[in-house]
Homo-oligomer: A and B are copies of this chain.
Amino acid sequence: MVDLSDIHLDAALDRPLYKQLADKIETAWRDNAVAPGERLPATRELAGQLGLNRTTVSAAYALLEERGVLQGQVGRGSFLLQRAEAAQSGRDSRISFANARPCGEAFPLDAFRRLAKQVIDSADAAEILQLGSPLGYSPLRRHLLEEAASHGIARPSDDLLVTNGCQQALDLIARVFATDGQSVAVEDPVYHGLVRVFSRAGANLLPVPVDEAGLDTRTLEQTLQQHRPRLLVVTPSFQNPTGATLPLERRKQILALAQRFGTVVIENDIYSELRYRGKTLPRLKALDESGNTILLGSYSKVSFPGLRVGWVMAPKNVIARLAEAKQISDLHSDQLSQAVLLRFAESGELARHVEKTRADGARRLDAVLRACSRYLPPGTSYTRPDGGMNLWIELPAPLTADALLERAERRGVNFLPGRYFGVHGGHSRGMRISFGGLAPEEITRGIQILGEAASRELALIPANIEMEPTAALV
């Protein structure tokens, strides 16, 4: 049974307690913090655990059933749906812009099955099952280093460490280089998991605003000059949540600033393959003549997220320190998935899949940009990404993303409000639209509903309400 006894609600908030409770459970379910398929506590039990009225819990469960998160089974209780079931049950009525994930239906499952069987039948299988190197499965490392060298990204002085996805790469970097209150400059807004990993390590986070062309280099200069952070973490292409991409000039500026102030750049490069239009830009690591940039890559955004394979490419002495931390953390990454993904890459199936993802992505991007231009009320601004899975909307003051979300959910549409992405809060009028897992028609319909809901909310706001200052972003 799911344990929800840790949930804390805030009676001081405007949002009713039953909605707060439903939100928390849904977020835990979306974030995979609770296991789909499991039973929820009985309403009486959860009410007792959380000190709530039983009707509050019943109302929250009813709302979650409407939202397609759980299902009541007579005589057995309430069960969290598998996300696949939820997607199905809500196919006609529900459009979620909340998940920044590739579309599962488009997975090349046949190719995966064929290639995984090749690996399993190969003579390498016996070695894969043996304890491996903390650095990673050696044939995969060689492949990634050679590929990067052929594109002018890796130097002879670089090495590569395989990690359990990009999240572990950030975790190892945080544990080795950002402990004891050391300063780390990060984009704001930014992916929530990045804030958590550096906060947990004890780093002092310095937020630098992001505009439509990515990290604001003028503020960056002030921040580096004033605080001399040890690290700067930046996602140059199709940043999450804004979708922003740094133009060449800013890339060069960032490297020059980093060198001037002795800051090491961590280049979070997990989306750059997903460019749907415009010209590919060189990676910071390729532009950086100092050789200090640490590049993070991953297969999970372009192939199978359930196989946890990412990597760090960096100067050898950096990799040696990260490999030591990796060995203490979990000895090494799982070798079966490393071998399967290597086969996937070497066979050309990965390139074919990325090609197809790009074609699909272009249609999705086209749909979301058209719909934004057509349906969002005047005063709304939004980013215009050239790839990736996310776009950022800034609502006209004083409309907040939470107010819009509440109305939109009643019409079967949801998204993550901007406050999820603030380094130190804020972004109350921002919202992330993740379009990577939806069909173009769903995207169009969903944005239309959001636009209508935003217009209605704005119409309800008295003309004399105190206006918040306009946010710097976008």
Contact = CB atoms under 8 A, between A and B. Distances in A.
Interface of A: 3, 5-6, 31-38, 82-84, 101, 104, 107, 109, 112-113, 116-117, 120-121, 125-135, 138, 141, 159, 163-165, 167-168, 171, 193, 196-197, 200, 300, 304-309, 316-317, 319-320, 323-325, 327-337, 340
B163 A317 contact: no
Copies in the complex: 2
A56 to B, nearest CB: 22
Nearest to A321: B6
Contacts of A120: 112-113, 116-117, 120
Contact of A35 (B141, B196, B305, B309): B141
Given A307-B335, A308-B331, A330-B167, A138 B320 contact: no
24 contacts: A3-B316, A3-B319, A32-B133, A33-B327, A35-B135, A84-B127, A101-B130, A107-B129, A129-B306, A130-B304, A130-B305, A132-B306, A164-B333, A167-B329, A168-B330, A171-B330, A193-B327, A306-B336, A307-B335, A307-B336, A308-B330, A333-B334, A336-B340, A337-B337
B337 A306 contact: no
B131 A164 contact: no
B138 A125 contact: no
Contacts of A324: 33
Given A109-B129, A129-B304, 9 more contacts: A6-B317, A33-B327, A107-B126, A112-B125, A112-B129, A117-B120, A130-B305, A132-B306, A334-B334
A46 to B, nearest CB: 13
A5 B333 contact: no
A163 B329 CA distance: 11
Contacts of A165: 330-331
A82 to B, nearest CB: 8
B134 A33 contact: yes
Contacts of A168: 329-330
A125 B141 contact: no
Given A113-B125, A120-B117, A337-B336, A167 B331 contact: yes
Nearest to A105: B126
Contacts of A164: 164, 329-331, 333-334
Given A308-B334, A334-B307, A131 B101 contact: yes
A159 B34 CA distance: 12
A340 B332 CA distance: 18
A309 to B, nearest CB: 8
A104 B126 CA distance: 8
A322 to B, nearest CB: 12
Contacts of A84: 126-127
A274 B227 CA distance: 55
Contacts of A34: 133, 135
Nearest to A331: B167
Interface centre among A5, A6, A133, A316 (most CB of B within 10 A): A133
A317 B7 CA distance: 12
B133 A328 contact: no
What 4 pairs across the A-B complex have the smallest Cβ distances? A164-B330, A168-B330, A129-B304, A334-B334
Contacts of A134: 32-33
Given A3-B316, A133-B32, A332 B307 contact: no
